[in-house]
């Protein structure tokens, strides 16, 4: 018992000496400080539906441990994906995007931090082709209309605008339809157009095109199917003219024996003999190869 007492006194004294010397026993355990995010932004700040978005993060770790991140992406408040980069095929113009990042140093997770919201902007439409109606334009064509095959990445509806130029004259009209009757057009004249499509926010790049005034075929000045004339003394001037004022060459395609045609003046004449009613078919052609076939009937007038 006396030995135990002295042992206890020695332990107390040694403990007191240790306390007086300011020394504490080292337990061998260290604490870790979780990492923290000091700044996070999304790039680019003005994305479109075709933009890949990334998160740029600045963070610190007290122990200088390497930091990784768990990043969640939200579109219009709904979580859509995870990862450092964000792309989403169903994204639409006007959608609101933000991200939430949580840092990790391999030991502990830090506090999650959310970015501000960015808005998905629009893209301009694009014209793929322009069509002109009618396809063939002559000096007799009263008006033409331009339509465009276009695509809009944002799926907006688009309207077409056309700037027309005839010769050196810029037409003060942006309609896709132009009236040609007051411009004195001639064969081989060229009309230039610059077409745009507009979605109400963005306008496409110009799509230029040309309309060439084609050679016009001869036309009837008067549609007559039946001509009353004495068969034995036929003389009939054909009601045919050329819109381009080109000279015409005339030929008979079908007629009874004794009937002829003046190839320059377009007069059908001759003697059909005893025939009282018969059909004549003629062709009038210009020097560029455009032609008109005209078929009519000759009948004997009633006495």
Helix, strand, coil shares of the chain, percent, nearest 5, are 5, 45, 50
Q: In 3D, which of 182, 109, 195 has the Cα closest to residue 147?
A: 195
- Contact between residue 72 and residue 79 where contact means Cβ atoms under 8 Å apart: yes
Q: Is the pTM of this model over 0.75?
A: no
Q: What is the pLDDT along the chain (303 residues), one digit of tens a residue?
A: 434 333 333 333 333 444 444 444 445 567 999 999 999 999 999 999 989 999 999 999 999 999 999 999 999 999 999 999 998 888 999 999 999 999 999 999 999 999 999 999 999 999 999 999 999 999 999 999 999 999 999 999 999 999 999 988 999 888 999 999 999 999 999 999 999 999 999 999 999 999 999 999 999 999 888 999 888 889 999 999 999 999 999 999 999 999 999 999 999 999 998 888 999 999 999 999 999 999 999 998 876
Taking every pair of Cα atoms in the chain, the longest distance, rounded to a whole number of angstroms, is 172
Residue 219, helix vs strand vs coil: strand
- Contacts with 218 (C-beta within 8 Å, 6 or more apart), sequence order: 240, 241, 242, 243, 248, 284, 285, 286, 290, 291, 292
Say what the pLDDT of residue 132 is. Answer: 97
pLDDT, position 303: 61
Q: What count of other Cβ atoms lies within 10 Å of the Cβ of residue 185?
A: 20
Q: What angle do CA 111, 113, 117 make, to 5 degrees?
A: 165
DSSP string covering 139-193: TT--EEEEEEEEE-TT----EEEEEEEETTEEPS---SEEE-TTS---TT-EEEE
Q: Taking a C-beta distance cutoff of 8 angstroms, is the pair 42, 98 a contact? A: yes
Q: Which domains does the chain have, with CATH numbers?
A: 36-119 (2.60.40.10), 126-212 (2.60.40.10), 219-299 (2.60.40.60)
Exposure b/e, 89-128, CB count within 10 A at least 16 = b: eebebebebbbbbbbbbeeeebeebebeebebbbbbbebe
């Amino acid at each position: 018992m006396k030995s135990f007492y002295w042992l206890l006194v020695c332990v107390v004294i040694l403990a007191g000496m240790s306390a007086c010397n300011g020394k504490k026993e080292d337990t061998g355990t260290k604490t870790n400080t979780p990492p923290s995010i000091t700044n996070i932004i999304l790039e680019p700040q003005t994305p479109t539906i075709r933009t890949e978005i990334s998160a740029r993060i600045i963070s610190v770790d007290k122990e200088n441990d390497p930091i990784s991140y768990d990043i969640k992406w939200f579109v219009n408040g709904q979580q859509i994906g995870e990862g450092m980069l964000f792309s989403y095929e169903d994204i639409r113009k006007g959608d609101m995007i933000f991200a939430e990042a949580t840092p990790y140093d391999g030991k502990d997770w830090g506090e999650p931090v959310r970015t501000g919201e960015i808005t998905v902007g629009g893209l301009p439409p694009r014209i793929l082709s322009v069509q002109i109606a009618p396809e063939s334009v002559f000096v007799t064509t009263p008006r033409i209309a331009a339509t465009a095959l276009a695509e809009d990445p944002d799926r907006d509806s688009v309207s077409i605008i056309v700037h027309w130029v005839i010769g050196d004259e810029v037409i003060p009209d942006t309609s896709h339809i132009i009236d040609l009757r007051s411009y004195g057009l001639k064969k081989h004249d060229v009309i230039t157009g610059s077409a745009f499509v507009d979605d109400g926010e963005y306008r496409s790049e110009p799509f230029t095109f040309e309309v060439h005034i084609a050679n016009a075929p001869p036309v009837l000045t008067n549609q007559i199917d039946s001509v009353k004339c004495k068969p034995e003394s036929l003389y009939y001037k054909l009601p045919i003219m050329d819109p381009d004022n080109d000279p015409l060459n005339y030929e008979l395609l079908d007629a009874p024996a004794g009937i002829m045609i003046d190839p320059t003046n377009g007069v059908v004449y001759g003697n059909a003999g005893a025939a009282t009613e018969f059909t004549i078919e003629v062709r009038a052609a210009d020097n560029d190869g455009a032609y008109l076939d005209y078929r009519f009937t000759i009948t004997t007038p009633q006495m």
